[in-house]
Amino acid sequence: MVPVQIKIKEKNYLFIKWNDDTETSIKLANLRKNCPCAVCISERDNNGSKYIPIYSGEQLSVKDIQMIGSYAIGIVWADNHNTGIYDFTYLKKISELSK
């Protein structure tokens, strides 16, 4: 499964249209909360399952979306956090959790 379109929708969602004609919308807050980079995973692990991060507007604004090979995207957030690599399977999983 590969995205054919990725864009920010309504300033609060990452919209993905997949090559199987399905569509996914993920709240940017959920995307940031589930950032797969080592720093964010460590922060979640250290704070436990009841940890609910509170993000500023800058932390939830996307500056850029970059394709990483043919399997993932990288997101550059407005606060310049950019180390998370969101593979396509992970994006689908996050979208399912957001429903």
Q: Is 75 exposed, middle or buried (0-12, 13-18, 19+ CB in 10 A)?
A: buried
Q: Say whether pLDDT at 28 is over 70.
A: yes
Cα–Cα distance between 87 and 54 in angstroms, integer? 24
Class of the CATH domain delimited by 3-97:
alpha beta
pLDDT exceeds cutoff 90 at 3: yes
Q: What does the domain layout of the chain look like in residue ranges? A: 3-97
Answer whether residue 99 shows pLDDT above 70. no
